[in-house]
């Protein structure tokens, strides 16, 4: 029997017990040398069919989608894209879109409007302000700017607001084409203006306020005996007379070719009835105030306001 059997069985040791002896394996064959990497060859771990291993695919997705929830908070975001010279600039709007010449014209127009608004606000402030040094020295200039178009009326906000209906009426003495003179009936100018306003969504300032302001101007500048009070009496009389002449000319008083020579104005004031739940007692009798006859001046005829056939 040989010292080593083919099966690698135990050999008796010195103490008689068997000791394990490793089996001898056959020598391994030498490995083939790796082929050098060629240009365009697939990387390590890639598959010939063009797919990428799952591990590397997940790394690519993670790098494209940014850091995950466990990434550090101190990571700086990617910088914003810088506009290229080919990016179109927004077109200018407003005054900037105009040429230089028109920009200068618009700036001058805005400056004129701003100055006029400041002057008007200053005049109105001085008009309603208590008497002071400026109003005493320049009171005439302030009144010429304010009256009659911009006069301030505070009756709406007074403790006892106006609770009356005032109708302004006018009649005329006209000369007909055959040379005779005759007197017309009363024309209710307030009712005629109201008729123009009714149903009109955008009535003019003249239709709403011209006649009312003319009468308020006259009443505030005259006493109950129609005597002027202050320096505005003559101005208020001329203003009301011209408004009255406009009214009778608009209604063709006297017929075709008739000329208005004189006019007379009166007011008819009635109290507004109180509501049913009120215990207030007011008179329902109208109060009539007649003004004297006024001769139509030549300045009124220069504009053709007295020719009834002109309208």
Q: Are residues 135 and 246 in the same domain?
A: no
- Residue 292 falls within a domain, yes or no? yes
- 197 and 244 belong to one structural domain: yes
Q: 230: number of CA atoms within 13 Å, CB side?
A: 14
Q: Going residue by residue through the chain, which has 311 residues, state the pLDDT in tens, using 9 for 90 and above.
A: 444 444 444 455 444 444 444 444 455 555 555 554 444 444 554 444 444 444 454 454 444 444 544 444 456 666 766 666 666 777 778 888 888 889 899 999 999 999 999 999 999 998 888 888 888 888 889 988 888 778 776 665 555 666 889 999 999 999 888 888 999 999 999 999 999 888 888 888 788 889 998 999 999 999 988 999 878 888 899 999 999 998 888 888 878 888 889 999 999 999 988 888 888 888 889 999 999 999 997 677 545 444 443 33
The pLDDT value recorded for residue 85 is: 64
Q: Do residues 124 and 211 both lie within one domain? A: no
- Structural domain count, the chain: 2
Domain assignment present for residue 55? The answer is: no
- Is 207 part of any domain? yes
166 and 299 inside one domain? yes
Tell me the torsion sign for CA atoms 285, 286, 291, 296. Answer: negative
Residue 69 domain-assigned (yes or no): no
Same domain as 306, residue 169: yes
CA distance 126 to 145: 11
Residue 224, Cβ neighbours under 10 Å: how many? 7
Coil, strand or helix: which one is 309? helix
Q: Are residues 289 and 165 in the same domain?
A: yes
CA 54 to each of CA 48, 70, 71, 103, 290: distance values in angstroms, whole numbers, following the listed order: 15, 21, 22, 67, 109
Report residue 103 as tokens: 């920009």
Please count the other Cβ atoms lying within 10 Å of the Cβ belonging to residue 174.
23
187 burial type by CB count under 10 A (0-12 exposed, 13-18 middle, 19+ buried): buried
Domain boundary among 83, 111, 142: 142
Domain that holds residue 132: 96-142
217 plus 293 within the same structural domain: yes
Report yes or no on 16 lying in a domain: no
Residue 84 falls in which region: left (phi positive, over 0), alpha (psi -120 to 50) or beta: beta
Q: What confidence score (pLDDT) does residue 298 get?
A: 67
Residues 251 and 190 in one domain: yes
Q: Using alpha carbons, list the distances in angstroms from residue 108 to 97, 111, 112, 120.
A: 17, 5, 6, 18
Same domain, 174 and 288: yes
Q: Is residue 12 part of a domain?
A: no
Looking at the structure, tell me whether residues 303 and 174 fall in a common domain. Answer: yes
- Interatomic CA distance for residues 185 and 171, integer angstroms: 6
Q: 183 with 290, same domain? A: yes
| CA distance readout (Å), 77 to 13, 58, 64, 80, 94 | 75, 22, 13, 9, 38
Task: Name every residue whose Cβ is closer than 8 Å to that of residue 2 and which is 6 or more positions away in sequence.
Answer: none
Whether 305 maps to a domain, the answer reads yes
pTM listed for this prediction? 0.50
Q: Is 266 left (phi over 0), alpha (psi -120 to 50) or beta?
A: beta
Looking at the fold, whether 171 and 131 belong to one and the same domain comes out as no
The answer to whether residue 192 sits within a structural domain is yes
């Amino acid at each position: 029997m040989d010292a080593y059997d083919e099966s690698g069985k135990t050999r008796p040791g010195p103490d008689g017990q068997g000791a394990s002896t490793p089996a001898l394996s056959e020598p391994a064959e030498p490995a083939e040398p790796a082929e050098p990497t060629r240009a365009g060859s697939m990387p390590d771990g890639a598959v010939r069919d063009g797919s990428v291993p799952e591990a590397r695919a997940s790394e690519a997705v993670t790098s494209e989608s940014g850091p995950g929830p466990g990434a550090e908070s101190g990571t700086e975001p990617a910088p914003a894209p810088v506009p290229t010279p080919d990016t179109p600039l927004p077109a200018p709007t407003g005054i900037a879109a105009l040429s230089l010449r028109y920009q200068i014209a618009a700036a001058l127009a805005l400056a004129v409007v701003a100055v006029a608004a400041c002057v008007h606000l200053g005049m109105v402030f001085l008009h309603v302000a208590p008497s002071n040094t400026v109003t005493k020295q320049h009171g005439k200039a302030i009144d010429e700017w304010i009256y009659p178009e911009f006069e301030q009326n505070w009756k709406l906000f007074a403790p006892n607001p106006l609770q009356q209906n005032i109708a302004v009426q006018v009649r005329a003495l006209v000369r007909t084409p055959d040379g005779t003179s005759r007197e017309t009936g009363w024309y209710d100018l307030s009712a005629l203006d109201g008729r123009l306003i009714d149903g009109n969504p955008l009535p003019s300032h003249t239709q709403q306020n011209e006649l009312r302001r003319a009468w308020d101007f006259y009443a505030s500048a005259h006493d109950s005996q129609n005597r002027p009070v202050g320096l505005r009496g003559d101005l208020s009389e001329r203003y009301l007379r011209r408004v009255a002449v406009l009214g009778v000319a608009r209604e063709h008083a006297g017929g075709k070719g008739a000329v208005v020579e004189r006019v007379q104005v009166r007011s008819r004031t009635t109290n507004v009835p109180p509501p049913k739940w009120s215990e207030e007692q007011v008179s329902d009798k109208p109060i009539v105030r007649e003004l004297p006859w006024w001769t139509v001046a030549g300045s009124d005829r220069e504009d053709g306001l007295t020719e009834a056939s002109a309208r």
